[in-house]
Structure 1
Amino acid sequence: MNIKNTLRRKVLIALTAVMMVPFSNSMAASLSEMPSGAYDLDLTHASVLWKVSHLGFSTYIGRFENFDADLVLDTQDFTKSSVDVEIQVDSLETAFPFPEKEDFNKKLSMEWFKGGEFPTINFVSKKVSALAEDNTFTIEGDLTLMGNTHPVTLDAKLNGFTPSHPFKKVPLIGFSAVTTIDRTVWGLSNYAPNIGADVKVEIEGEFTMQAK
């Protein structure tokens, strides 16, 4: 068997193994099979995107590259779960073209978000709703941006989970969440409303259980 065929065979075996992992989509009924406890964010499978109107002609999209989240999962009573998120402002990233890209990103993070004075954006959950039949739920909490704290509600979805990660062999759970905030409420009012005041934030995250 040549090298190419050997590699192809290994890839197929790996893909088959992943597809056979017992991911669950019946959520509420079987979530109790998962262990409760502290879970760490898997940054290789996570993202924080923001979207804002640019003069009404397009939706401008950016993201933050450096962030973390601590999840405390209660699988017996999902409403007792909680999440704490911290985003590093200086990790702001856009698709602005080179060579001005670095200067533009720095201008946004330092001048718009005042990253020198307020280096982090924080979200702390206060209330988590029960899972609905379609696996959706809400997360109510406080968002702190530029030194100002205001309540925010995330519309979230439990995407799936497994008691054994296909490679790490630890419990794994994945979520999506979205919210829209009026950035001017936090004092981030540059060029509003021409550059949209409403900012849509989309979050994706996979979490693995902390090693004991």
Structure 2
Amino acid sequence: MRHILLATAATTLILTGAASAQSVDIPAGTYVSDPNHTNVLWKVSHFGLSTYIGRFDTMSATLELDPEDIAQSSLTASVDPASVSVNFEGEKSFAEEIASDQFLNAAGFPEATFVSKSIEITGENTGTVTGDLTLRGETHEEVMDVTFNTALNPHPMTEQPAIGFGGEMTIDRTKYGIDYLAGPVAQEVTLEIQAEFVPQS
């Protein structure tokens, strides 16, 4: 899911958490996800036996932050669906199978994106981000629940401002044409994002 979020998560994802206390004590401007401290996971029920978990190794997100009025901020996120990673031992590559046209069709649709449309503050450090998720060429409106983790100004290691969020979004994969094994493997897929944002250089 190249530009997914989740959009992240989510990307997606990620931005609304700032809605924590309606404002944050870092400068306004463009922030980008720190690839070394950002993760996008996906979870799906596997025959009811367990929740199967994978991740995407390549994602990016951009946050246009209005620290005085978080609801006026915006988020875009992208995930590379070919970067799917799973813990699987066997003769075949299950990651390649998920990236194939049976599921994500990364060759035909090399990116998944999430673009925010609105942000709503729901609590002291929580919010929702409503946006358009595009996956496998299909676009649908989805809602991400976001938690604002914290903001540092400055970060003690980089001496630059930083802000962090966690996000979660559950989608119906069949709406995006991913209906292979739907039933035994659940239609609902949960995307989880943890992201740190730093000023765009």
The residue aligned with 1:11 is none
Counting only pairs closer than 5 Å after superposition, residues 149-168 of structure 1 correspond to structure 2 as: 149-168=139-158
Give identity over the alignment, percent. 39
Deviations 1:125-151 (A, max 9, x none): 000113622x00000000000000000
The residue aligned with 2:116 is 125
Say whether the 8 Å CA contact 1:177–1:202 is kept in structure 2: yes
Say whether the 8 Å CA contact 2:22–2:68 is kept in structure 1: no
Say whether the 8 Å CA contact 1:28–1:131 is kept in structure 2: no
TM-score (norm 1): 0.82
> Secondary structure at 1:122's aligned position in 2?
strand
Change beyond 3 A, Cα 1:140–1:30: closer
Give yes or no for the alignment of 1:105 onto 2:98.
no
- Greater mean alpha carbon deviation, residues 165-174 or residues 141-150: 165-174
Say whether the 8 Å CA contact 2:160–2:198 is kept in structure 1: yes
Deviations 1:170-199 (A, max 9, x none): 110000000111100111111001101011
Q: List, as ranges, runs of 4+ consecutive aligned residues in structure 1 with deviation greater than 3 Å.
A: none
Greater helix content: 1
Give aligned pairs, total: 181
CA distance in 1, matches of 2:22, 2:29: 18
Deviations 1:58-94 (A, max 9, x none): 1100010011001111111110111101100110011
CA distance in 1, matches of 2:73, 2:90: 43
> Secondary structure at 1:185's aligned position in 2?
helix
CA distance in 1, matches of 2:176, 2:160: 39
Change beyond 3 A, Cα 1:196–1:30: closer
Using CA pairs below 8 Å that are at least 6 residues apart, which structure has the higher relative contact order? 2
The residue aligned with 1:192 is 182
Change beyond 3 A, Cα 1:30–1:195: closer
Change beyond 3 A, Cα 1:75–1:60: same
Give yes or no for the alignment of 1:62 onto 2:68.
no
Counting only pairs closer than 5 Å after superposition, residues 5-24 of structure 1 correspond to structure 2 as: none
CA distance in 1, matches of 2:150, 2:190: 24
> Secondary structure at 1:115's aligned position in 2?
coil
Once the 2 structures are TM-superposed, how far is the Cα of residue 99 of structure 1 from its aligned partner? Answer: 5.1
Cα RMSD (Å) of the superposition? 1.4
> Secondary structure at 2:64's aligned position in 1?
strand
The residue aligned with 1:137 is 127
The residue aligned with 1:79 is 71
For structure 2, the 5+ residue unaligned runs are: 1-19
Deviations 1:42-65 (A, max 9, x none): 111110000001101111000100
Say whether the 8 Å CA contact 2:58–2:80 is kept in structure 1: yes
For structure 1, the 5+ residue unaligned runs are: 1-26
Once the 2 structures are TM-superposed, how far is the Cα of residue 98 of structure 1 from its aligned partner? Answer: 5.2
CA distance in 2, matches of 1:47, 1:53: 20
Q: Please say which structure displays the higher CA radius of gyration.
A: 1
Say whether the 8 Å CA contact 1:38–1:73 is kept in structure 2: yes
- Greater mean alpha carbon deviation, residues 122-131 or residues 182-191: 122-131
